[in-house]
Structure 1
């Protein structure tokens, strides 16, 4: 979906005491390596092919791990003609410091066996100043796109673009296939009349410590409020926010003063923020220079989450067409290390506004939660408690066991409940931080 500059993927992984991050690098002369992107749990190995003739099968509801060099890779999909939509996202992960240009990036396109591209199916993203994880998503509309509505075989064509003097080595690639169920009769098909543009009303309350993750799979859940973290040069931190139908998100990010080693210097793209939707397509993004003293980025408030947004021609409205987890990537440019102490993390403040009352969504034929869409009670609880997806899954499992024990009777289950409660308490200690 056009150019997306995501400049930095790193954040100091400190501990949190009384809700405030504490640097884990104090007194160290050399910085620790930045944490690597965490792949999805249970990701299936796959090997895309340069020709559709040998393309491996990928299925909805699964995440895959591959590698990709410059050029195209093909994957095969078997889609039903039931009006459902299909989304294939690709996250490419270059090594830290890899040479990239502004024309390098990733593209995902869904095509028929006749080689026709599905309407408005292609998603694109290109690098900014740094080699950081980059995501793009391709779409198949199962109702509105007549050429791609029929059941049968389709191909996801994932292309890595690379200039001749850029890094040519194979990079890790994460593919995720998601299915959004078809809608019942009377579902809207017309684009919204206009895009509401509005600056967010960002909160100014005291910040609470929440350490971000390394990517989509361990992004830290946030809600409305002010949140504190840390970043180092070349690092990106990831967060996720549940947005229900009818809700809007406004956000701002600030870098405070660093430990400067060279005055009167600055880095273009020193602070970058990118917002992604539930199927990992970029919604909006912005980057500014950073001089080691102060920098801030504010993104315009999103339009309300609405099914009809997917029919809009506006690049920042079209992706806000489904409810679910929206992801925030905050990057501090690698060039900041040229004039600051790389080992000393820089305070990062996030200010989030979630506006609007949750509204009733479209009448799906099936539950969209199976595809990773919608907002439920567990999602709201995860945002309130600041859980990553793995932590939320663990908490849900613990609750399930405790319910079973409770149903067995108070007398026999009291001791086990006390033990399980202790596990939960221990697991939540230091939740605000992600270990390096």
Structure 2
């Protein structure tokens, strides 16, 4: 599979101040937050936790933005659009970031770069300069590695969308989830679920609670939902299509995909997540995915320590809050034309496991701050009737902020020829 990203204005970046109530999670609306990257590191604009829209560089031009992280903290940047990206020290002399791109097979139009606060299995090596650095630079450059027409608009100065998160240092990380708790799980399919219209906007997903929902899927169009998952819990999701009893048969063969993302927009789903729907067949097929338990210590998991979910996915199932499901129908053969007739389907969501306490974070005063009770960790927006626009996760008085906001992105999944 590959991801192609086009078009897009992103929504508001949200940053809670020191006086914000503990554990707050809200869904404010706002204007898109556009940022102009600079051509000089010394003039780089500051990126706070949130989402941004910008324009991809052209040619060999490098462009820069600045990110500040708390000492020992972590920074992540998810970029939708074809671009080369890395995080460096403020002088640009040392690259600090690692990249985790684990969607499926090969993909374009998505980059995930990060700097962990401590050396662990997720980022096994850090130079001394990077360990101590609190002022960082996000450097982007045109991606010339792909000559396909699907990325030409981005590499020639098209739009980019970025989601930036910052997490403070964690004390008493604890033990990661054991391998025995990372086996495949499935979301039950119930035929009496309510009908819901799913958002077609990546950063304005439909908020759902666990259960089954009758939905319609349009080939070539996103269907995006989100569900809250607490510390110690797991998410399972599946899509049944064509929905049984609908007597619907697609006019062409289609590929059905479902992908799970963490609150940082890191891919975290295990399983293949895809299924072939045969032309002129009304036989229901199911594509499914699932996560590891949400555990901050999962970042220490190494290869061989994870079960069916897979190492890359488990290492990023480390933050409680909104988890995202992106569903897509596409042509089974690259370049083939498909109709835009709605296909009846069913989206199934399950959150398993009892909530547990989260980790302890170190606040700006250097003292450990316990995470809030799991039942209060990420409140609000459970029963949105429309598309939620953002989430902010704040742990007690610490500086943990994970913010995502409303916008429009077209994310098309296609099989590489």
Q: What's the TM-score once normalised by structure 2's chain length?
A: 0.68
Find the counterpart in structure 2 of residue 43 from structure 1: 32
Tell whether the 8 Å contact from 1:218 to 1:389 is kept in structure 2 after alignment.
yes
Q: Work out whether 1:149 is the aligned partner of 2:149.
A: no
Name the structure, 1 or 2, with higher relative contact order (CA <8 Å, separation 6+). Answer: 2
Which has more helix, going by share of residues? 1
Q: Residues of 1 paired with 2:212 and 2:72: CA distance?
A: 40
1:168 aligns with 2:141: no
The reply to whether residue 61 of structure 1 matches residue 36 of structure 2 is no
Alignment of 1:287-436 (within 5 A): 287-292=274-279, 293=281, 294=283, 296-313=285-302, 314-334=311-331, 341-342=339-340, 344-366=341-363, 379-390=378-389
Instruction: Report whether the alignment pairs 1:117 with 2:95.
Output: yes
- When structure 1 is superposed on structure 2, of 353-362 and 331-340 the one drifting more is 331-340
The aligned counterpart of 1:286 is: 273
Question: Against the structure 1 CA distance between its residues 61 and 240, is the aligned structure 2 distance closer, same or farther, given a 3 Å change threshold?
Answer: same
**Partner of 2:152: helix, strand, or coil?**
coil
Q: How many residues align?
A: 336
1:224-303 correspondence to structure 2 within 5 Å: 224-256=210-242, 262=251, 265-267=252-254, 270-284=255-269, 286-292=273-279, 293=281, 294=283, 296-303=285-292
SS at match of 1:149: helix
Deviation at 1:340, TM superposition (A): 6.2
Q: Return closer, same or farther for 1:378/1:237 CA change in 2, 3 Å cut-off.
A: farther
Rounded to whole Å, the distance in 1 between the matches of 2:65 and 2:262 is 24
Question: Unaligned regions of 5+ residues in structure 2, if any?
Answer: 13-30, 120-125, 303-310, 365-371, 393-417
* TM-score, scaled relative to structure 1: 0.65
> Equivalent of 1:138, from 102, 110, 113?
113
1:332-377 deviation per Cα after TM superposition (whole angstroms, max 9, x unaligned): 11569968652x311121111110111100112349xxxxx99765
| Aligned equivalents of 1:287, 1:137: Cα separation in 2 | 22
Are 1:194 and 2:179 counterparts?
Answer: yes
Per-residue deviation, 1:233: 1.6
Q: Which moved more, 1:143-152 or 1:310-319?
A: 143-152
RMSD, aligned α-carbons: 3.8
SS at match of 2:383: helix
**Runs (5+) with no aligned partner, structure 1:** 10-35, 93-104, 368-372, 394-436
Per-residue CA deviations over 1:37-92 (Å, capped at 9, x if unaligned) read 6621333322335x664663232224221122577754332424532221222122
Question: 8 Å contact 2:10–2:32 — kept in the other structure?
Answer: yes
Q: Secondary structure of the residue that 1:168 maps to in structure 2?
A: helix
Per-residue CA deviation, residues 106-164 of structure 1 (Å, 9 max, x unaligned), is: 55432223543326x22336788998xx5432222224355423244322234535522
Secondary structure at the aligned position of 1:315 is classed as helix
- Structure of larger gyration radius: 1
Contact 1:183/1:364 (CA < 8 Å) preserved in 2?
yes
